[in-house]
């Protein structure tokens, strides 16, 4: 078992109907590795930050079993910064600021010690960078998962399509699935997207749960009905981290086990939205995670044996 | 076991991205009794039509075990007519025509033979009419369920609140739950609505499934991911018919059995949207229904035993 994550490690400033933050730690890579750290004791990350990135956070990641040889720290440069504001119903957000900084010239270097990774999670980044990582791995991992977003479909669709041909699992949201496929029906969208490369597809629907597609099989997991969603930032990345952390720890990428991974990803995401940024997922106990998974089982459990 | 449905029996004209119909048979009451007829052999309806309503449809309902003593046929008057057009994504619709006709002066007469009904489904109608039916039953049914819509919240909220105090189960959609409670979070909405009267609450979320609330318990059932939704008209009523037909046939209104009823209602609704109007749900076999329910079980089945 060895899990490699590639993704942004960055700063965010977030405004929701419940409040706003100053610059806090964010980035897809950060959420992914924190979430997966509850399932794998050791993992690797390939990412880049500027010298403005706090040492304490790097130490925290180290304590959580994240090897940091693949984290490039660029002297005299600034970390990626994103700022956004959510609508009142939390279903949409406006980007206020995007400063690429070190991410603009990110050349993902894969340390020799990471070469034998069996599970690869390519967090949302430019498809060009994602492709470079795949090419720079001498041995193909057992399972390659990729997340992306509408932005890359707008400006780098050709590279994205190349990347899709090389992966096993695509994890995107419903809006992205519709844009990528040009189909409104998610069933049609899933069929088209799987023809583009990935054998497995997860479509995240936010508060409406997530769908897992493989060949003729479909699995649906709800999101936990929450009293309040405090801050949705990073929920999708936290899902991906829980999903891939669980797959890597069990060394089982069968459809049956991916169903469990979807439930676990959903449980982790349900924590993420309870506080700003990574605050909630940095401080979970195994008991809390088990209880949350039990809530999912309760929510979805029914017995149709001899029903009609 | 005896199920009484009160609801409109009417004409609809529907336009969707897939086509449009002339005047076809519609009405909440029609969808409900057709759907529940797959679970109960005999049932009663209280409704009103004009003399323009086709005899063949009345005969069809009779053949499906619907007692028609409670169906008033008003000579020289016209049946209720609604016409609507769906948006391209089917998520919204505009009402083009509403002609109340006989429904405008509907006085719901409960035949003596219906007095001992144990299960009462009050389909979407004016709360005043729904209240009259409750008052005209000499013995309270074991379970009283009610459906309503935003329109009645706008113009008859006081009557609706009176009705809510007298029922056990409210079946509404997410938008209606938000308007009724003034809360965006469905968890908060559910709490407020149950304080208004109904111990049980179903919130239908269309393509996103349905939630069942009772005390501290929540159950979630997905909608079946469909390649195409051809016509959503009547899907909510078909859900309610399947739900109440199953509850009445099993004579069990426990939370555990209501979970099964939600799955069955969802399965019936998934048929309804496949064709215009009642066409699909008029011609189902028990085998088709069982297979569809199996699809729901497949879609939601997972085993978290010893997962982490």
DSSP string, A269-293: HHHHTTSSTTHHHHS--HHHHHHHH
- Cα A115 to Cα A62, A248, B209: the distances in Å are 20, 16, 43
| Percentage of residues in chain A having pLDDT higher than 70 | 99
Of A228, A293, A300, the CB nearest to B185: A228
**A252 vs A161: CA distance, rounded Å:** 27
Of A220, A286, A293, the CB nearest to B299: A220
Residues of chain B contacting residue A264, judged by C-beta atoms under 8 Å apart: 307-308
DSSP-H helix ranges across chain A: 28-36, 55-63, 127-136, 150-155, 157-164, 174-181, 186-195, 235-250, 255-272, 279-282, 286-300
Residue A307 has pLDDT above 80, yes or no: no
Mean pLDDT of successive 10-residue segments in chain B (308 residues)? 94 94 97 98 97 97 97 98 91 91 97 96 98 98 97 97 98 97 96 98 96 97 91 97 98 97 97 96 97 96 82
Interface contact B219-A263, CB threshold 8 A:
no
Looking at CA atoms only, how far is residue A274 from chain B in angstroms?
14
Interface contact A263-B218, CB threshold 8 A:
no
What DSSP character marks residue A119?
A: E
- Cα A13 to Cα A10, A24, A25, A277: the distances in Å are 10, 6, 9, 9
* HEC secondary structure over B129-183: HHHHHHHHCCCCCCEEEEECCHHHHHHCHHHHHHHHCCCCEEEEEHHHHHHHHCC
Interface contact A220-B286, CB threshold 8 A:
no
- Cα B97 to Cα A85, B81, B104, B178: the distances in Å are 40, 8, 15, 26
Provide the 3-class DSSP secondary structure of residue A304. coil
Residues of chain A with a CB closer than 8 angstroms to some CB in chain B: 39, 88-89, 184-188, 205, 208-209, 211, 217-222, 225-229, 246, 256, 259-260, 263-264, 286, 289-290, 293, 296-304, 307-308
Question: Structure tokens of B167?
Answer: 């029922």
Model confidence over B27-85: pLDDT tens digits?
999 999 999 999 999 999 999 999 999 999 999 999 999 999 999 999 999 999 999 99
Closest to A265 (Cα-Cα) out of A194, A202, A200:
A202
What DSSP character marks residue A70?
A: T
Of A208, A219, A303, the CB nearest to B302: A219
Model confidence over B8-22: pLDDT tens digits?
999 999 999 999 999
Q: Tokens 């979070």 — which residue?
A: B185
Looking at CA atoms only, how far is residue B224 from chain A in angstroms?
9
pTM: 0.94
Q: What are phi and psi of A121, to 5 degrees?
A: -110, 110
Interface contact B209-A218, CB threshold 8 A:
no
Position B306 scores a pLDDT of 64
**A129 vs A28: CA distance, rounded Å:** 14
Mutate to test the interface with A, among B224, B300, B306 (most CBs of A within 10 A): B300
Mutate to test the interface with B, among A215, A220, A301 (most CBs of B within 10 A): A220
**B130 vs B124: CA distance, rounded Å:** 9
Interface contact A308-B205, CB threshold 8 A:
no
Residue A259 has pLDDT above 70, yes or no: yes
Provide mean pLDDT across the span A253-259. 97
């Amino acid at each position: 078992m060895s899990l490699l994550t590639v993704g942004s490690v960055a700063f965010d400033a977030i405004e929701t109907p419940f409040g706003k933050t100053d610059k806090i730690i964010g980035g897809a890579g950060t959420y992914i590795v924190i979430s997966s750290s509850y399932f794998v004791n050791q993992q690797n990350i390939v990412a880049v930050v500027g010298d403005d990135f706090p040492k304490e956070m790097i130490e925290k990641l180290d304590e959580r079993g994240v090897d940091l040889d693949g984290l490039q720290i660029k002297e005299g440069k600034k970390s990626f910064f994103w700022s956004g504001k959510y609508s009142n119903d939390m279903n949409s957000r406006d980007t206020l600021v995007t400063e690429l900084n070190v991410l603009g010239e990110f050349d993902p270097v894969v340390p020799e010690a990471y070469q034998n990774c069996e599970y690869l999670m390519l967090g949302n980044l430019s498809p060009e960078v994602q492709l470079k990582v795949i090419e720079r791995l001498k041995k193909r991992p057992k399972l390659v998962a990729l997340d992306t977003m509408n932005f890359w479909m707008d400006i780098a669709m050709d590279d994205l399509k190349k990347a899709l041909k090389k992966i096993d699992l695509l994890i995107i949201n419903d809006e992205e699935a519709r844009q990528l496929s040009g189909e409104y029906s998610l069933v049609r969208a899933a069929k088209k997207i799987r023809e583009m490369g990935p054998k497995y597809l997860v479509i995240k629907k936010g508060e409406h749960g997530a769908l897992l597609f493989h060949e003729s099989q479909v699995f649906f997991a709800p999101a936990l009905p929450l009293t309040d969603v405090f801050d949705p930032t990073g929920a999708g990345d936290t899902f991906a981290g829980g999903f891939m952390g669980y797959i890597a720890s069990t060394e089982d990428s069968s459809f049956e086990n991916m169903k469990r991974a979807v439930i676990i990803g959903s449980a982790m995401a349900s924590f993420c939205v309870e506080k700003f940024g990574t605050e909630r997922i940095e401080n979970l106990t195994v008991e809390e995670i088990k209880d949350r998974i039990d809530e999912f089982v309760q929510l979805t459990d029914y017995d149709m044996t001899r029903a009609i």
